Amino acid sequence: MGAAASKGRPPLVFLDSNVIFSGLHSPGGAPGTILELMLDGRIEVVVSSQILEEVVRTFSKKLPQALPALREFLLNSPMSVVSDPEPGDCRRWTGALSTGDASIMAAAVRAESDFLVTGDSHFLKNDSLLKSGLSICSPAQLLDILERRKS
């Protein structure tokens, strides 16, 4: 587990762009709940520059009218942004993932995240990523894990 959970602080969660898009587009689902948990300070969220670029690109294509609200959210959210990893940091993951996904994986590991939360099956169904030391899960799975920890 990453540094955050081991020190009694909220879990450090690296969000994939699809979780952020879904959470803002459909706030009633699991991704929206994750964003609420971030805003309430119950989890810490980290993303990479690449993730932010993907979110903006997706909103530009699918919901251009929502770009001002996205900008407002990003400017006011407590999420941390880490720089994109160097190509050398991604090599460990390029055999198991595409170049873009390897970069996301490397950023999540470098950020010492406890969780990588994604809706992308390239991550969720890839057993070779288990050696990363972080938990890779869907938004619903993260909520289940967090609920069990409360009990």
**Closest C-alpha to 78, from 22, 39, 24:** 39
Q: Can you give the residue range of the structural domain that contains 123?
A: 3-150
CA-CA distance, 109 to 135, in Å (whole number)? 10
Number of domains in the chain: 1
pLDDT of residue 3: 45
CB crowding 118-146: b at 16 or more within 10 Å, else e = bbbeebeebeebeebebbbbbbeebbeeb
CA-CA distance, 15 to 3, in Å (whole number)? 17
pTM for the predicted model, two decimal places: 0.92
CATH of the domain at 48: 3.40.50.1010
Q: Tens place of pLDDT for every residue, the chain, 151 residues?
A: 454 455 578 999 999 999 999 999 999 999 999 999 999 999 999 999 999 999 999 999 999 999 999 999 999 999 999 999 999 999 999 988 999 999 999 999 999 999 999 999 989 998 889 878 899 999 999 999 999 988 7
